[in-house]
Amino acid sequence: MIPIIIVAGSLLCGFVQANDAKIIDATIQATGGGKYRISVTLRHDDTGWDHYANRWDVLNEKGELLGSRTLAHPHVNEQPFTRSLTLKIPAGVEAVTIVASDSVHGDNAETFTLAIPE
* Dihedral sign (CA 52, 104, 19, 39): positive
Task: Residue 84: give its domain's CATH number.
Answer: 2.60.40.10
At 62-117, the pLDDT tens digits run 999 999 999 988 887 888 989 999 999 999 999 999 999 999 898 989 999 999 99
At 27-64, the pLDDT tens digits run 999 999 999 999 999 998 888 898 888 899 999 999 99
Range of the domain at 63: 2-115
DSSP state of 117: P
pTM score, two decimals?
0.80
Q: Which of 98, 107, 80 is nearest to 36 (CA)?
A: 98
Name the domain count of the chain: 1
Ordered DSSP codes for 33-49: TTEEEEEEEEE----BT
Which residues touch 52 (CB under 8 Å, ≥6 apart)?
44, 46, 71, 73, 74, 75, 76, 102, 103
Distance CA 82, CA 96 (A): 18
